[in-house]
Amino acid sequence: MTPTQLNGSEELLSERLQFEALLSDLSATFVNLPVAKVGEKIEHGLQRVVEFLGFDRSTLYLFSDKDGRLHQTNNYSRPGINSPPAVLDDILPVWVAIARRGKMFFISDPDELPDDQWREKEYCLLMGGIKSILFIPLSVGGNVLGVVSFVSNRSKRTWPDEFIQRLRLLGELFANVIERKRAEQKIQEAFSEIKQLKDRLEVENLYLRDQLELEHKHEEIIGQSTAIRNVLRQVEQVADTDSTVLLLGETGTGKELLARAIHRLSSRRHRTLVRVNCAALPATLIESELFGREKGAYTGALTKQIGRFEAADGSTIFLDEVGELPLELQSKLLRVLQEGQLERLGSGKTLEVDVRVIAATNRDLAQAVKQGEFREDLYYRLNVFPISIPPLRERSDDIPLLTRALVKELGATLGKSIERIPKKSLDDLQRYPWPGNVRELRNVIERAMILNNGPVLQLDLPNDSAALQAPAMCLAEVERRHVLAVMETTGWRVRGRHGAAEILGLKPTTLDSKMQKLGIRRPAHPSEIP
């Protein structure tokens, strides 16, 4: 062996050892590397290889899980070298087809390319005159992830087999790192999905538990009157759509029961109906209740909370007493209705939700719009399919059916058996104006059954003689007199068992507000009179 050959062999050996040291160093870099830093380290690795081997550019492409195309993920180019395109499929169809098969390919001179690779030849010219290029497949377990390319613009390169084998080792290193990154990302995504499902399940369970405490034992809507049949016909027409429904009616007419019927007949019936009473939620908390909050969104927000719209994703949300929603939150509700988007309190991240909205109110929303108390655009967005629920006094024919159904239901709860209801009692019930509607009827029946000791139900209507003989009066006055009568009966006790709130079927806070609105005040005790 001549001195020149000896020196050449020593240089090749030295170069090989240096490249193997580079690979070893790169491999050590990726050990226990956090997923978030993998992309940054791959790019740095491409730079080191380009500078070590004298290339001008090296680019890593991966096949996308979304569209199956070859997308650029990492690239290093020397100064003055054109950056590669983001997607290769339409630009280099032949080379991409070879890459899909997991085959390596290279060229030393674009002029040697066959005619069917004319696009590839044009690409080499457009990219600043590529003189040589090599594509190494990235595959793990027979699954082709993508390719890594090495480009020379300044000089033509030959591709000796020993040289290619070294670059194959680099390709295997990148492939393993990318596969590990993907696996860890899938695990993190799975954990994140499990966490989201767990949070939603916990919220749904809370709503289910709340609803079990409410009086929803009556799943069937009782009635055969023309008025109620018309309502049920509208329920059937709209139930299987995703249209927003607005239920209109006085307090106690059964708006929530109808909302449940719509949900039960819809394609969303397999998910929980989420109920929100907009009047019962404090103004300071209603935004976080509806749209959720991030930890630290405000003082006292110690944990993240999923809002009720987020919990109702894929299901139906029932917004009871929607007319009481504060003006400042109506715009956010409008956004959810129009775009299906919301943001948690304290977060700038937009969340997409698919929620069917059923709203209910006993207010005249059109009048509220004129008075500036309700947004006009929100009113029209809610009023897509309005259903007006008749008050009980307009469907008196249903009262005997309702009474018998309530007696049967409450008898099972209270452990009492009623065999007969006197016709006079039923006639009295039908003549009574029922300002509290079905809810008031239920309370009257329940009170009568608690006091009843025999098989014949004895009914005592609240102020029945006055109600039957009194001249016509406005609904507010009828309601005021009824609430006042119940308060006097309970000794002005609002809360607790057999308190006025329970008898009227209202929450204590709602009854407090109603009394204030109706101008009802507890009379002063004699000891309090000066």
Task: Report pTM.
Answer: 0.53
Percent of the chain, pLDDT > 70? 85
Question: What pLDDT sits at residue 519?
Answer: 79
Minimum mean pLDDT range among 85-94, 165-174, 414-423: 165-174
Question: What pLDDT sits at residue 2?
Answer: 38
Q: How many CB atoms lie within 10 A of CB 204?
A: 18
**Tokens coding 9:** 């062999």
Better-predicted residue by pLDDT, 204 or 427: 427
Domain range summary for the chain, segments of one domain joined by +: 14-186, 214-388, 393-528
Better-predicted residue by pLDDT, 34 or 276: 276
- pLDDT higher than threshold 80 for residue 454: yes
Radius of gyration of the chain (CA): 37
pLDDT by residue (tens digit) across 256-309? 999 999 999 999 999 889 998 888 877 677 888 888 888 776 766 667 788 889
Helical H runs in 240-372?
255-264, 286-291, 308-311, 327-339, 365-370
Question: What pLDDT sits at residue 207?
Answer: 54
Domain 393-528 has CATH 1.10.8.60: yes
Tell me how far CA of residue 152 lies from CA of 53, 58, 69, 271, in angstroms. 10, 9, 25, 59
Minimum mean pLDDT range among 145-159, 183-197, 286-300, 415-429: 183-197
How many Cα atoms occupy the beta-carbon half-sphere of 19 within 13 Å? 21
Tell me how far CA of residue 394 lies from CA of 130, 218, 467, in angstroms. 86, 21, 16
**Tokens coding 276:** 């929100």
The span from the CA of 450 to the CA of 458, in Å, is 11
DSSP class of residue 456 equals: B
pLDDT by residue (tens digit) across 344-397? 888 878 889 999 999 999 989 999 899 898 999 999 999 999 999 999 999 999
Give the CATH number of domain 214-388; options: 3.90.79.10, 3.40.30.10, 3.40.190.10, 3.40.50.300.
3.40.50.300
**Tokens coding 305:** 């909370």
Minimum mean pLDDT range among 16-30, 209-223, 281-295: 209-223
Helical H runs in 373-519?
376-382, 399-414, 423-431, 437-451, 464-469, 475-489, 500-504, 508-518
The span from the CA of 407 to the CA of 386, in Å, is 32
Q: Which CATH architecture has domain 14-186?
A: 2-Layer Sandwich (3.30)
pLDDT by residue (tens digit) across 229-260? 899 999 999 999 999 999 999 988 989 999 99
Find the helix or strand (DSSP H, E) in which 161 lies.
Answer: helix 161-213
- pLDDT higher than threshold 50 for residue 42: yes
Q: Chain-wide mean pLDDT for the chain?
A: 82
Question: What pLDDT sits at residue 470?
Answer: 44
186: helix, coil or strand?
helix
Mean pLDDT of 418-440: 90
Question: What pLDDT sits at residue 30?
Answer: 74
405: helix, coil or strand?
helix
Question: What pLDDT sits at residue 216?
Answer: 41
Positive or negative, the CA dihedral 176, 178, 181, 187 is: negative
Q: How confident is the model at residue 34 (pLDDT cuts 50, 70, 90)?
A: confident
